[in-house]
Structure 1
Amino acid sequence: MTTRQMFNSKQQPGHFDYTLRKQTGGPGQYARVVGYLEACNEFFAFDNQITGGAIPTEYIKACEQGFKDATSSGILAGYPVTGVKVVLTDGDFHQNDSNDRAFQFAACQGFYQGMSTADAVIIEPIMDVVVTIPTACIGAVQVNLMARRGILQDIRTEHNHTELKVQVPLSEMFGYATQLRSLTSGQGTFSMTPRDYQPVPESVQRSLIASA
């Protein structure tokens, strides 16, 4: 699980209208793609709404590939993009200068154009963490988990041991095994499993972008 960026589904779609026009004296390169990006529940989705042959059918696959390739590095700190649907609504071609390569490049640039007009957010993987510790250590362990941006979900105490269930960003769990041993004199244990992705706090997003 890696940090990614995604659309904020509460915002308006990101529109694009990109034209590649390149002439070098010989055969040129020409392609135009028009459409918009919106949030979806899949990693990537493509909806071809071209009608009337604005873009010939043989170039649609190249468009889809260009949009998909662009998701590998988005505009926010270069993180991959997820949860985005590309809707292709219009375009244009040239009888001699259009080809798969031209449309793939135009689609890639159109994606970046659409991203720049939309409200994207950086999201991060969240883990379900279960920590079992001596009850006498609960204070120090809980404070440490909160410092790691952990959100307590449940706490149960039985005899002299306490179990904490916490949701913690994966990025905050590095080095936790050593820290837990120190806080519990080697008696604490933990396990973690992937849960989902959630937006990072605004302060964290600003820091990630600034350090990119």
Structure 2
Amino acid sequence: AEEDPTFQVKIDPDSGQTIINGMGELHLEILIDRLRREFDVECNQGPPQVAYKEAITSSSEFREVFKKQTGGKGKFADITLEFLPAENGFRGLQFINEVKGGNVPKEFIPAVEKGLRESMSNGPLAGFPMENLKAILKDGSYHPVDSDSISFEIAAKQAFRKNAGKCHPVILEPIMSTEVVTPEEYVGDVISDFNRRRGRVEGMESKAGLRVVKAKVPLAEKFGYVTVLRTLTSGRAISTMEFSHYEEVPTEIANRIIEVTKGKIL
């Protein structure tokens, strides 16, 4: 990277993969070949992993009791929770405490929230992080001797594991805002290619004698796009993209993602 300013290396925080960026696939192939020949470094290469997320689409109310009795002091926690889809635009855990009359002592409430927040890193469908979740603590009970913060944290984690999957979870994928600047004669090919990639063309405009095509395209369909665009337009078009939002994955593709993640297919 010090020799070549167009070559960039970073670690993706979501997947843990080492991501390399360059001027195109050929550029990266040459650099990987140099790593093998000059530095004797073997690379296991492939497309970057897409940072999928999960979310629930329906609500569910349930009770979870955690009880453990050993020789000495036992463990006890009893909570009633409701899971709902989070409000629009909210990310992370939206936790609401509606317990009345001290049925769950206030010092144990943060433990319930902590248990849920930690559980969201492993979604019910394929283990992807949850994008958002609204959780309402409705009621509960405690034992004056056996209850403690750890008991309520474990109860919250068990509640998530048993019940999040009953709220019709879905997989979400990142959608990219994409712009292609191309000569007029290639517009049809560019739009057809977007359609093949599950893209939605949102508009076109003219700019300095060229056409600007704007579309929303799933990131999973964008790998290798620059090379394809060069081929379609004889190298006369350029494209840019940036993250837009997360959107539900179609059922057929979601099922395949789950199978791949769980190791059923390669």
Give the TM-score normalised by the residue count of structure 2: 0.73
Q: How many residues align?
A: 209
Post-superposition offset of 1:158:
5.6
Match of 1:29 in 2: 75
CA distances 1:55-110 after superposition (whole Å, capped 9, x unpaired): 11110011111111111111011111123110001112222221111111111111
Correspondence 1:149 to 2:195: no
Q: Is the 8 A contact 1:156 1:164 kept in 2?
A: yes
Q: Is the 8 A contact 2:115 2:154 kept in 1?
A: yes
Q: Is the 8 A contact 1:29 1:99 kept in 2?
A: yes
CA distances 1:129-188 after superposition (whole Å, capped 9, x unpaired): 110112222233222211111101112346753211011012211221222122222221
Higher relative contact order (CA 8 A, sep 6+): 1
Match of 1:55 in 2: 104
- Partner Cα distance (2:162, 2:100) in 1: 23
Q: Which runs of 5+ in 1 are unaligned?
A: none
* Structure 2 counterpart SS, 1:178: helix
- Partner Cα distance (2:153, 2:207) in 1: 61
Correspondence 1:100 to 2:142: no
Moved more, 31-40 or 159-168: 159-168
Post-superposition offset of 1:32:
1.5
Match of 1:123 in 2: 172
- Partner Cα distance (2:61, 2:238) in 1: 49
Q: Is the 8 A contact 1:129 1:193 kept in 2?
A: yes
Match of 1:87 in 2: 136
Match of 1:14 in 2: 60
Give the TM-score normalised by the residue count of structure 1: 0.91
Post-superposition offset of 1:33:
1.4
- Partner Cα distance (2:200, 2:206) in 1: 18
Q: Is the 8 A contact 1:15 1:113 kept in 2?
A: no
* Structure 1 counterpart SS, 2:72: coil
Q: Which runs of 5+ in 2 are unaligned?
A: 1-49, 262-266
Correspondence 1:189 to 2:238: yes
- Partner Cα distance (1:105, 1:19) in 2: 10
Match of 2:123 in 1: 74
Q: Which has the higher strand share?
A: 1
Counterpart of 2:252 in structure 1: which amino acid? S
Moved more, 70-79 or 181-190: 181-190
Q: Is the 8 A contact 2:53 2:129 kept in 1?
A: yes
Q: Is the 8 A contact 1:16 1:111 kept in 2?
A: no
- With over 3 angstroms needed to count, the CA separation of the structure-2 counterparts of 1:64 and 1:158, relative to structure 1, is closer
* The one of 196, 208, 211 aligned to 2:257: 208
RMSD: 1.8
Counterpart of 1:199 in structure 2: which amino acid? E
Post-superposition offset of 1:200:
1.1
CA distances 1:115-140 after superposition (whole Å, capped 9, x unpaired): 12212221112111110112222233
